[in-house]
Structure 1
Amino acid sequence: MKIYITREDGKQHKIHKIEEGCWINLCSPNKSEIEAISKMCQIEEADIMLGIDEEEKAHIAVEDNYTIIVVDVPIKDSEGLHEFITIPLEIILTDTFIMTVCIYPIDLLQDFIEGRVKSFYTYKRTRFILQLLYKNSSYFLHYLRYIDRVSNKVERELETNMKNKDLLYLLELEKSLVYFSTALRANEIVLEKMLRMDKIKQYQEDKELLEDVIVENKQAMEMASVYSSILGETRDAFASVISNNLNTIMQRLTSITIILALPTMIFSLFGMNVPLPFINQPNAIIYILIISIIFVIIGFVIMIKKKMF
């Protein structure tokens, strides 16, 4: 648990006890820490644990003394199974402080801790929530643009040298876009509920910021949908090209096999122990070779006319 508060100088300071207007940031707390925080802050343990449950869905819950907001945030997959995944970020709003709970350290919160967000004050709790959500939508857009750039680079590599690993990488990017689309739709429901909450719309500036967050989230949803469609069609197109190339190679190999079978049949015919043409000719081998070459040329011409090569 780390506690921050904005002082008179407008900067965030780390403190060691809870004060009014502070921000409590919990990153992957263990059970004993959750128990201590629950008693200290008068918040149910089960409610605090929502932020460390990777399967938790975005939602809003209003309790007697606090409000819980859970949204999905994008992160780069550290385990390497996928390019990007989404995890829940829990925001607990009380009359005294604001608390964030997350299972992993994320850049989104680090931006606030290091003062990279303008006009951020821990005591402006409603504004802080909206700034978090706006910054979260910005991260979605940032990662979506990154996916678009990377997919274009992979496509150019596939045009020159098709490899299975590149196609599989496109598949992983497509999965990331599916995660993003699902998370953004869930976040949209949360934002729409917040739009109806009088507490969020208490100040005109906050209402306008919330509307900006909704617009940013919708833009991210549209981008994710478009990129997912483009990426899926591109991957299918390259898979079809690979399949077509394989068919072409098999067709050529079949044609070569047929042409090579012609001299084999002729030599097999003249190898039989029965009376045959040129049997008593000293230059029989030359005649047989000439006949074989003629048949090969005829077969080659026929294959070219049939566009087998």
Structure 2
Amino acid sequence: MLTKTPLTNKVTWINIHTEDKSELKRVYQSYEIDEEIVDYSLDENERAHLDYDQRTNTFVLIFNVTNPLKNDNHYETIPMTFIIKDNTLLTVTNELNYYVLDIMMKQVAAEKVESIFQFLFASLFMIIDSFFPYVEEMDRERKLINNKLKQKTTKQNLLVLSDLETGIIYFVSASKQNVVLLEQVKAHQIFRLLTESEKERLDDVLIEARQLVEMTQLSSQILQQLSGTYNNVLNNNLNDTMKILTVLSILLTVPTIITGFFGMNMPLPLEHNIFGWMITIGISVVLWLALSFILNRLMK
């Protein structure tokens, strides 16, 4: 499905909503766009990068956007394609990133479009801003899980913490790739053709993208620290449990040894004494108390 939106008298924005490779290929052929970009546009694992075909004057951006639906209890990111061909901006969306179309429509309604690059950079700015609510949501969930883990360190809470850590790693990676992409635009020859206003827009996007990197990295570091802390708590609890079990097993050997000695089928001391069993128990208790005192001092 194609959606055409006139931005100015000369500039047009066309959104292609499809996951059909053959359909996308036909559209690209009509605009003389390299068929290799078809694979980029439909690859869900494509990294953010910049391509420029000087022969056909085609400028391609693969930009990371958020996936609004959780996958395995955590958020992920997906790539989206932006293509500038002459005075036409083409975007390729699917069911997961179609919401970006609404963001860009709001940008059209909120501000007069002066040029195709001004509209592109303004849209990228709003796309980057859409990351922050997800990061803030993960921060709130992290605080909630942290409070629960302080009360009781359960397997379920640790799994939720692990899901949060996985999600923030996706965001850190995606935001870093976006920053690298924007820096490539600044270093590209096309940057020299931009107006001062467009360059300022690009700088604003880059500043916002770097801020997102710092925010996601901070959240990731906090989650890693929490995960490491609770792992240490669990290991310490396990050590304490094993220490108690070891002490109990040592103490239980005392009566076993004493009763085993007096249970042998041979002449033994106290075997004809009517109070022999009480003396045996007394010996066991005394040795048990002495060994308990020694182990207690060693453990301290």
TM bin (shorter chain) = 0.7 to 0.9
In structure 1, what is the equivalent of residue 63 of structure 2? Answer: 71
Q: Do 1:21 and 1:122's aligned partners in 2 also have CA atoms closer than 8 Å? A: no
Q: Do 2:48 and 2:64's aligned partners in 1 also have CA atoms closer than 8 Å? A: yes
- Aligned ranges for residues 18-37 of structure 1 at < 5 Å? 21-37=11-27
Over the matched positions of the two proteins, sequence identity in percent amounts to 26
Give the drift of 1:91. Answer: 0.4
AA in 1 matched with 2:227 = R
Distance 1:74 1:7 in 2: 25
Residue from 54, 59, 74 that aligns with 2:44? 54
Decide whether aligned partners of structure 1 residues 117 and 5 sit closer, same or farther in structure 2, where only a CA change above 3 A counts.
closer
TM-score, length basis structure 2: 0.84
Give the drift of 1:75. Answer: 1.7
Tell me the SS of whatever aligns to 1:24. strand
Distance 2:70 2:16 in 1: 20
Give the drift of 1:185. Answer: 2.4
Decide whether aligned partners of structure 1 residues 23 and 121 sit closer, same or farther in structure 2, where only a CA change above 3 A counts.
farther
In structure 2, what is the equivalent of residue 221 of structure 1? Answer: 213
Decide whether aligned partners of structure 1 residues 106 and 150 sit closer, same or farther in structure 2, where only a CA change above 3 A counts.
same
Instruction: Work out whether 1:140 is the aligned partner of 2:135.
Output: no
Residue from 238, 244, 258 that aligns with 1:266? 258
Distance 2:41 2:182 in 1: 18
Distance 1:253 1:54 in 2: 52
Give the drift of 1:236. Answer: 1.8
Instruction: Work out whether 1:283 is the aligned partner of 2:275.
Output: yes
Q: Do 1:85 and 1:179's aligned partners in 2 also have CA atoms closer than 8 Å? A: yes
Q: Do 1:68 and 1:90's aligned partners in 2 also have CA atoms closer than 8 Å? A: yes
Query: Deviations along 1:159-188, whole A, 9 cap, x unmatched?
Result: 232234443443443333333333222222
RMSD: 3.0
Query: Deviations along 1:35-88, whole A, 9 cap, x unmatched?
Result: 3312443333332432211232222223324321111122256441x6122221
In structure 1, what is the equivalent of residue 234 of structure 2? Answer: 242
In structure 1, what is the equivalent of residue 120 of structure 2? Answer: 129
Instruction: Work out whether 1:151 is the aligned partner of 2:142.
Output: yes
Decide whether aligned partners of structure 1 residues 282 and 200 sit closer, same or farther in structure 2, where only a CA change above 3 A counts.
farther
AA in 2 matched with 1:93 = I
More off after superposition, 237-246 vs 160-169: 160-169
TM-score, length basis structure 1: 0.82
Aligned length: 296
In structure 2, what is the equivalent of residue 3 of structure 1? Answer: 3
Decide whether aligned partners of structure 1 residues 95 and 30 sit closer, same or farther in structure 2, where only a CA change above 3 A counts.
same
Residue from 34, 38, 41 that aligns with 2:31? 41
- Aligned ranges for residues 65-144 of structure 1 at < 5 Å? 65-76=57-68, 78-80=70-72, 83-106=74-97, 108-112=99-103, 115=106, 119-120=110-111, 124-144=115-135
Distance 1:167 1:100 in 2: 40
Decide whether aligned partners of structure 1 residues 122 and 35 sit closer, same or farther in structure 2, where only a CA change above 3 A counts.
farther
Tell me the SS of whatever aligns to 2:33. coil
Query: Deviations along 1:80-137, whole A, 9 cap, x unmatched?
Result: 1x61222211101233432111344326514326638762567853232112211222
Distance 1:252 1:201 in 2: 72
Decide whether aligned partners of structure 1 residues 127 and 115 sit closer, same or farther in structure 2, where only a CA change above 3 A counts.
same
Give the drift of 1:3. Answer: 0.5
Give the drift of 1:263. Answer: 1.1
In structure 2, what is the equivalent of residue 201 of structure 1? Answer: 194
Unaligned runs of 5+ in 1: 9-18
Q: Do 1:25 and 1:101's aligned partners in 2 also have CA atoms closer than 8 Å? A: yes
* Runs of 4 or more above 4 Å deviation: 120-124
As a proportion of its length, which structure holds more helix? Answer: 2
Q: Do 2:7 and 2:113's aligned partners in 1 also have CA atoms closer than 8 Å? A: no
Decide whether aligned partners of structure 1 residues 30 and 199 sit closer, same or farther in structure 2, where only a CA change above 3 A counts.
farther
In structure 1, what is the equivalent of residue 170 of structure 2? Answer: 179
Unaligned runs of 5+ in 2: none
